[in-house]
């Protein structure tokens, strides 16, 4: 069987407690030295014995330099934490304001569609009615404007179609005239190519 975990508790015997402190202190200082050498870490260790005697260890930097660095780092950490807390507080406040605005807007929307009107008093109902009438006037104004714009656009399309139709009619008449002229010319050429005696005979028939 493996050895069970030893429960840590205060050593009641004074002599045993002092001996254990001396042994553990030596091991602790040794481990601190090892980690500073192996990892090139700045390290400061302060131990007060049960009798109040000071034992300390620091790396190649002095104890004062390490403690000053610790104080500076702690101050920066505190400033950062305070700044984060302040920012978080502002965000929480802003979030609460936005939630309140959303609730008001949602309530107004429900009122505008005729819901949740029972808790409202006469003045609030009159205010909603006035807002709806104002909105209705704006909607009607915009609707009339849209209708006029649509009618104007249809008139433009109608004029464009009429112009296109006129152009096509004109072109059709020109084609008919050209075709008639071409037929006349073809007929004249055909007559010119007939022998004189045949032309006289045809003319005599037409005169009769």
User: What is the domain-level CATH number for residue 48?
Assistant: 3.40.1810.10
pLDDT at position 100, please? 85
Q: What is the pLDDT of residue 63?
A: 82
28 compared with 60, residue with greater pLDDT: 28
- In this structure, is residue 21 part of a structural domain? yes
In a domain, 155, yes or no: no
In a domain, 34, yes or no: yes
Cβ(43)–Cβ(32) below 8 Å: yes
Residue range(s) defining the domain that contains residue 71: 14-83
Q: Is the pLDDT of residue 186 over 90?
A: no
Q: Between 63-112 and 122-192, two packed helices, what is the crossing angle to 10 degrees?
A: 80
Residue 138 within any structural domain of the chain = no
pLDDT band at 184 (very low <50, low <70, confident <90, very high): confident
Residue 114 included in any domain: no
Whether this model's pTM surpasses 0.85: no
Residue 140 in this model has a pLDDT that exceeds 90: yes
Q: What percent of the chain has pLDDT over 70?
A: 83
Q: Given this model, what pLDDT does residue 104 score? A: 86
As a whole number of angstroms, the distance between CA 80 and CA 74 comes to 10
The more confident residue out of 103 and 180 is: 103
55: left (phi over 0), alpha (psi -120 to 50) or beta: beta
Do 59 and 39 contact (CB within 8 A), yes or no?
Answer: no
Does residue 59 sit within a domain? yes
Using pLDDT thresholds of 50, 70 and 90, give the confidence band for residue 190.
low
Question: In the predicted model, what is the mean pLDDT of residues 166-173?
Answer: 89
Domain count, the chain: 1
**Rounded to whole angstroms, how far apart are CA atoms 130 and 125?**
9
Mean pLDDT computed over every residue of the chain: 82
Q: What whole-number distance in Å separates Cα of residue 126 and Cα of residue 145?
A: 29
pLDDT tens string 32-59: 889 888 888 888 888 888 888 888 888 8
In a domain, 7, yes or no: no
Q: Read off the pLDDT band of 208 (50, 70, 90).
A: very low
- Within 13 Å, how many C-alpha atoms sit on residue 14's CB side? 2
SS (H, E, C) the chain: CCCCCCCCCCCCCHHHHHHHHHHHHHHHHHHHHHHHHHHCCCCEEEEECCCCCEEEEECCCCHHHHHHHHHHHHHHHHHHHHHHHHHHHHHHHHHHHHHHHHHHHHHHHHHHCCCCCCCCCHHHHHHHHHHHHHHHHHHHHHHHHHHHHHHHHHHHHHHHHHHHHHHHHHHHHHHHHHHHHHHHHHHHHHHHCCCHHHHHHHHHHHHC
**Least-confidence region, from 86-95, 138-147, 162-171:** 86-95
Residue 121 included in any domain: no
Calpha distance 158→166 (Å, rounded): 12
Pairing of strands 44-48, 54-58: antiparallel
């Amino acid at each position: 069987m493996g050895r069970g975990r030893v429960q840590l508790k205060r050593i009641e015997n004074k002599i045993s407690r002092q001996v254990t402190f001396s042994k553990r202190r030596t091991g602790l200082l040794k481990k601190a030295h090892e980690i500073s050498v192996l990892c090139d870490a700045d390290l400061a260790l302060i131990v007060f014995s049960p009798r109040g005697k000071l034992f300390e260890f620091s790396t190649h930097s002095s104890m004062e330099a390490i403690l000053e660095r610790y104080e500076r780092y702690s101050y920066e950490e505190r400033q950062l934490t305070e700044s984060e807390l302040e920012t978080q507080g502002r965000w929480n406040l802003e979030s609460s304001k936005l939630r309140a605005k959303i609730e008001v807007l949602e309530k107004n929307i429900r009122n505008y569609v005729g819901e949740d009107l029972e808790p409202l008093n006469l003045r609030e109902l009159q205010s909603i009615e006035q807002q709806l009438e104002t909105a209705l006037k704006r909607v009607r104004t915009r609707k009339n404007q849209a209708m006029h714009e649509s009618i104007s656009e249809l008139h433009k399309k109608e004029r464009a179609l009429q112009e296109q139709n006129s152009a096509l009619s004109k072109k059709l008449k020109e084609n008919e005239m050209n075709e008639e002229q071409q037929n006349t010319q073809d007929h004249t050429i055909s007559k010119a190519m007939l022998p004189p005696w045949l032309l006289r005979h045809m003319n005599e028939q037409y005169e009769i």
